[in-house]
Amino acid sequence: MALLVVDLETTCDEGEKLARTLMETIEIGAVVVDEQLQILGSFQSFIKPLRTPQLTAFCSDLTGISQAEVDSAATVYEVFPEFADWLSGFAGLKHWASWHKRRLCAELKRCWAEALGLLGGL
């Protein structure tokens, strides 16, 4: 049995001025560990935010992520398939914290909805 541990960082602003529905993932980090907590693999990538491309000072201070790091990053459309490919190499994974799971699922749903819109709703 292996355990997947995921940490996501998202766009944010002080006092929740940025609605949760507008938050975008700007970094994904993950490790897969075995029952003895030995690391079997790791994944990390910054992600360029598309709807709110300019990080707030609060966000940079909170996450330690710079504007330059996200500006030079790939988009969620490139990073999530890479993450999925990486995950496919591990069998019998247990899932991670519910907030991260909901955040990842919301981001994937948004990406698919936007992609379908670009394709004329096919």
Sign of CA dihedral 12, 16, 17, 20: positive
- Do the beta carbons of residue 72 and residue 43 sit within 8 Å? no
Beta bridge partners of 57: none
Confidence grade of residue 29 (pLDDT, cut at 50, 70, 90): very high
**The pLDDT of residue 121 is above 50:** no
Please, what is the end-to-end C-alpha distance for the chain in angstroms? 39
Identify the pLDDT of residue 38: 93
Highest mean pLDDT among 21-25, 60-64, 83-87: 60-64
Highest mean pLDDT among 20-24, 66-70, 94-98, 99-103: 66-70
pTM of the model as a whole? 0.76
* Other beta carbons within 10 Å of 11: 22
26 in helix, strand or coil?
strand
Per cent of the chain over pLDDT 90 is 40
Cα-to-chain-centroid distance, residue 14: 20
> What value does the mean pLDDT of the chain take?
83
Fold of 2-118: Nucleotidyltransferase; domain 5 (3.30.420)
Identify the pLDDT of residue 46: 98
Identify the pLDDT of residue 101: 67
Identify the pLDDT of residue 63: 95
Per DSSP, 95 falls in state P
CA angle, 102 then 13 then 25, to 5°? 35
Q: Which two tokens stand for residue 42?
A: 């790791």
